[in-house]
Structures are given as C-alpha cells and as structure tokens.
Structure 1
Amino acid sequence: MSYEPKLAAALSGATLRQLSHWRRTSGSSGALLVPELSTSRPILYSFRDVVALRACVRLRQETSLQKIRRALNTLRDDLGEREHLSAYRLVAGPDTIYLADSDHAVDLLRSKGNVVIHELVDVLAPFYRDGRHIPDLLAPRPHVSVDPAVRGGEPVIQGTRIPASEVAALVRDGIPPDQISDFYPGVNADAARDAADFTDYVDSYTDSHPRQVAS
C-alpha cells in the first residue's frame, strides 16, 4: 500500500506544507524524510514513512526543526545509522534530542548533563496538535483499522479487508449506513459511519492547513 500526501498527512498529523518542506534539503542538512516509494509525482509514502512522520510531528511539538535536522545529521553522519527513520525512537529533552532504547539514551546534540527521560512517546498512539485530534495510527476510528499486513496498510473496516474508502463512497452516494450491509454483509451501520467520518477527516487535508471537520 502506498499513501498519497493527503492520506499520509491525515495519518501522521503533519500538514501538506510540512510534508513538502520536509522532503527538501536545507543548507548542508539532508531532507528530513524522503518518501520511500516515490519522490516524483505521484509522490507516495510507505507505512514506515507515516510512522516516521508521526515521530517528527511529535518532536516538532517539543523542539525546533533546526534541532531535529541536527539530531538526524548526528544519527546518520556521526553514528553511521542507516536504518529507516521509523526504526529509531527519538525523544525530545531539555535543549536536546535523545536516541533512546530500553537501556540507555544517546544525546544527539552533544548537550552536557545527565540524561533524564520522563516518558517514551508512543508514536502510534493518538495525540493533539494545535487543538486537532490526530487519531491512533492503527485504529484511526473504532471500526477502521490500518495494518501493514492487510491490503498493505490501506485503511479498512476492522476485521475485514474491505477498504474504508469504498464504504465511504457508498455513504456519500446516498446509501444509508444501515443499508451498507446489503453491499458488504460484514459492515454494520456503525462501521459505515466510521468509514465516512474517517474519509471526511482525510479529505480535510486539502491544503497547507487542514480545515476542521464538523462532528
């Protein structure tokens, strides 16, 4: 499954403008995150990219983009780490960024002092950004799931392989949620409403600043 920028933004919490900016190099620094599947139109992100983007969004809430770029330069150039960014747990601390695991943490900005990490952030869990709720990556709605092992990570109705977008399209065409089961027997009314709601949320990412979706 590949994720176009709009869906990658909706699942990660980044704006489309940020995705565009983070794909580009900045001075001597490399790009923050280059899409794994396609860097030319159509631009396509992987599931691992979306996980990494969520980590970047969470870091950006705590520290500057300049520090994030410096930390990634240290990770790649000084430590020689070449795994996908989603493989690392990066944690913002006072005036620095740490590369953390269960046993220790490495200061990526060369700050002095003791390493104190109060909480390791779960980048898959829901969070708020600028007052907007960014859903759980693996369960963006109660009846919608995202699993790399199911249709490559395409959002589907939970417990099925039915794409949420196909169910949402029927609802948008005027089929009442309680009649969606006539087309997809495994989809009840609540699941149909969740599919439609999630698709509205994704479609709110139409420009640099996602618009609010009425609840």
Structure 2
Amino acid sequence: MPYPPKLAAALSGATVRELAHWRRMDMSRKAVLIPEISQRPILYSFRDVLALRTYVKLRNDASLQKIRQALGTLRYDIQECEHLLMYRLVTAGGTVHLAEPGQAADLAPGKANAVVHDLVGVLRPFRHDGWYVPDLLRPRRHVTVDPSIRGGMPVVEGTRVPYGEVAALLRDGVPAERIIEYYPSVTAAGALEAADFADYVDAMSK
C-alpha cells in the first residue's frame, strides 16, 4: 500500500509542504525526489520514504543549496540515475559526498570529517527542525511498519489492523478498553498509541 503525502511526511520527518517543494522541477532547479509511483493522487513508495528520511537527515548537516548541488552532480554530471535510496550519501562539514567502497566522490566541495547516513542510521529516531522523528519500523511502542504487512501501512503491533482505523474509533468516542470489541487483537495500550501516532501524523501535515 503506497503512502499518501501526509503519512510519507510523518514517517520521513519532512513536511507536506516540503514534499511538494522537493517534487518540483523547473529550469533553475532539479527535483529532489519524484515519487516512483507515477499516478495521481500523489503516492510515495516505501523506498521513497527511506530516501526522504536520508535527505532530511542530510539537511541536519548540510544546506539545502549544497544538497541540491550534490543531487544535480549525482544525476546530471556523473550520470548516476538510480533511485536516491541506492546511494550512500555522506555529509562532511556542510558538503555532501557519494561514498563508494574505498573511495568518495565529492558532490559539493568542502572539507571536514564525514558523517555517513547509512540505512541503519536512517531507520533510527532523530531530531529535525524541532520535531522528534520516530523510528521508521516502530514509530510507537505498539505501532509497527513492515513492508510485508499491508504494504508497509503502520499497524498496531502484532496485528494487521491499520493505526488509522483504531485512531478513528477513539476519536469517535470509543474508550480504549472497548477497542477489543471491534478488533479482538488490539489492546488498550495499542489503541492509545495508534491514536497518539495519528495525532503526530496530523501535526506533521500542518
């Protein structure tokens, strides 16, 4: 199940407005990431979300201008055109490098100690622009993300029940301890955390 921009933003640490900005491409600016699912409404894949998290983490160490310069070099100067997730990107004192085994291509000139943004680091929680971006595979203690379960839609831990369905019941006034009457496998704790995650998704989309 692909992710709408609202959920992709919450899972990546970007805002919906930033996602729209990063999709745009014109004569003076190259798109940061165009969703690999080519359809309307706009939807992001799990790989897109991973790439977006990498990009957001890069922004903690390098300017937007430097990152755009790096992506332009990657795509148009050295003809690397794979999905952004396929590359190991490194920040070094405000610049960005493409890291390969035994070497690193400088994509935006600068000098300093490198900070590698590998897949393991991208999955972990981090802070960005005052937001606490949760662990991608476990955004709440009782809410999990697994691409093999409902296509990666966040679900209540140990179930296939999407967080949004449980959160909607709580918002309609159903007490957490009665969620079990609707979804026998969902505990009250799981229901409360599904609602908490839904609140976070809504807050990130503003």
When normalised by structure 1's length, the TM-score is 0.86
Query: Which consecutive unaligned segments of at least 5 residues does structure 2 have?
Result: none
> Deviation at 1:146?
0.9
Superposed, 1:190-209 pairs within 5 Å as 190-207=189-206
Moved more, 100-109 or 176-185: 100-109
> Deviation at 1:75?
1.5
The structure where helix makes up a greater share of residues is: 2
- The Cα offsets for residues 68-99 of structure 1, whole Å up to 9 and x where unpaired, read as 11111221223322221112221211242112
> Deviation at 1:103?
4.3
Superposed, 1:58-207 pairs within 5 Å as 58-101=57-100, 103-111=102-110, 116-120=113-117, 122-207=121-206
Call closer, same or farther: CA 1:131–1:28 in 2, change over 3 Å.
closer
Find the residue that maps to 2:56 and give its secondary structure. helix
Contact 2:89 2:116 in 1 (8 A): no
CA distance in 1, matches of 2:97, 2:203: 33
CA distance in 1, matches of 2:108, 2:49: 25
CA distance in 1, matches of 2:45, 2:29: 22
Q: Which amino acid aligns with 2:126?
A: F
* 1:2 alignment partner in structure 2: 2
Instruction: Note if 1:46 corresponds to 2:60.
Output: no
> Deviation at 1:172?
1.3
CA distance in 2, matches of 1:60, 1:202: 21
Find the residue that maps to 1:123 and give its secondary structure. helix
Find the residue that maps to 2:80 and give its secondary structure. coil
Find the residue that maps to 1:10 and give its secondary structure. helix
CA distance in 1, matches of 2:150, 2:171: 23
- The Cα offsets for residues 22-72 of structure 1, whole Å up to 9 and x where unpaired, read as 0112544421111121464x1111111111111111111211112111111
Contact 1:71 1:108 in 2 (8 A): yes
Find the residue that maps to 2:123 and give its secondary structure. coil
Find the residue that maps to 1:204 and give its secondary structure. helix
Query: Which consecutive unaligned segments of at least 5 residues does structure 1 have?
Result: 208-215
Runs ≥4 residues deviating over 3 A: 26-29, 101-104, 118-121
When normalised by structure 2's length, the TM-score is 0.90
CA distance in 2, matches of 1:147, 1:31: 28
CA distance in 2, matches of 1:128, 1:161: 29
Contact 2:93 2:113 in 1 (8 A): no
- Tell me how many residue pairs correspond in the alignment: 204
Contact 1:146 1:155 in 2 (8 A): yes
* 1:213 alignment partner in structure 2: none
CA distance in 2, matches of 1:46, 1:184: 27
Call closer, same or farther: CA 1:195–1:99 in 2, change over 3 Å.
same
